Amino acid sequence: MISLFVSEFLQNYCAILYAKCVTLKILIIEDEQALLQSILAFLTASGYVCESVSDYAGALEKLEVYNYDCIVLDIMLPGGSGLQLLKYMKENKSQDGVIILSAKDSLEDKIKGLELGADDYLTKPFHLAELSVRIASIIRRKKFSGQVVLQFGEFQIDTAGQSISVSSKILDLTQKEYQLLLFLCINKNKVITKNAIAEHLWGDDMDMASNLDFIYVHIKNLRKKIVAAGAEDPIKSLYGVGYKLEIP
């Protein structure tokens, strides 16, 4: 019993260490330069080591030689289809996580992409914060089999148990509050718009202004719970347009 506990602790601890020490490599395959630059800047600022390539042949070259923790893959590329690249990777037993970026919102494409072994599918136009949180989720799943305790300042997030503790006290959060705090943590020190939060929490069919006020209620509750646990409130609001979780 004790040994089980110890091994679990060690595993978690190692995972934390691993996540902290090992740099995570991401390959971005996207032919639209302007978009590529934004993704690169955003993900680099999030602490990833990013490489980028903007055509089929170049992508194939990179995939033949290197391994990545996560690949951001556009479907329509000059010289070939992203789905073909996906096929190539699966044939070569690549363990890299893949998130498809596509402008195609059709159900068939989504199903096809996921069937070919993609880990996630994001439809353009997306929020950079959403991309970031999806990539983090894929890496957790693929690399650490979901057994990760993430450390953000005073926050410790156990993604397997879906619980967050601050200063070693577990916060009593609702499902939505957990998702919200995780979202803010992964996009720490960045301004996140209410729209991005709303889409993350409720999906993109929610086009209601009332939602946005509703986020405010969630944030307020979160702040209360964090302060009650004895920590300082790290969430800054920005003129009512968005929020930012500040962690030094």
Residue 124, interface with other proteins (CB under 8 A)?
Answer: yes
Residue 129, interface with other proteins (CB under 8 A)?
Answer: yes
C-alpha 126/C-alpha 202 separation (Å) is 14
Three-state DSSP class for residue 27: strand
Task: Give the list of residues 6+ apart from residue 98 with CB closer than 8 angstroms, or none.
Answer: 70, 71, 73, 86, 89, 117, 118, 119, 120, 138
C-alpha 180/C-alpha 225 separation (Å) is 13
Alpha-carbon torsion 244, 101, 46, 226, what sign?
positive
How long a stretch of residues is the chain?
248
Q: Where are the alpha helices (DSSP H) in 81-127?
A: 82-91, 107-115
Q: What are the structure tokens assigned to 92, written together?
A: 């070569």
List the one residue from 97, 113, 234, 242 that touches other proteins (CB under 8 A): 242
- DSSP letter string, 175-207: HHHHHHHHHHHHTTTS-EEHHHHHHHHH-TT--
Only one residue has tokens 């993900």, namely: 43
List the one residue from 211, 223, 229, 231 that touches other proteins (CB under 8 A): 211
Residue 39, interface with other proteins (CB under 8 A)?
Answer: yes
15 or 180: CB nearest other proteins: 180
Which residue stretch of 31-39, 59-67, 82-90, 142-150 sits at the interface with other proteins (rule: CB under 8 A)?
31-39
Residue 128, interface with other proteins (CB under 8 A)?
Answer: yes
Task: For the CB of residue 157, give the shortest distance to other proteins in the complex, in Å.
Answer: 22
19 or 35: CB nearest other proteins: 35
Q: In this structure, what are the phi and psi dihedrals at residue 183, rounded to the nearest 5 degrees?
A: -60, -45
65 or 217: CB nearest other proteins: 217
Task: For the CB of residue 202, give the shortest distance to other proteins in the complex, in Å.
Answer: 7
Residue 181, interface with other proteins (CB under 8 A)?
Answer: no
Residue 195, interface with other proteins (CB under 8 A)?
Answer: yes
Binding site for other proteins (CB under 8 A): 32, 34-35, 38-39, 41-42, 45, 76, 101-107, 123-129, 176, 190-191, 193, 195-196, 202-211, 213-214, 217, 238-239, 241-242, 244
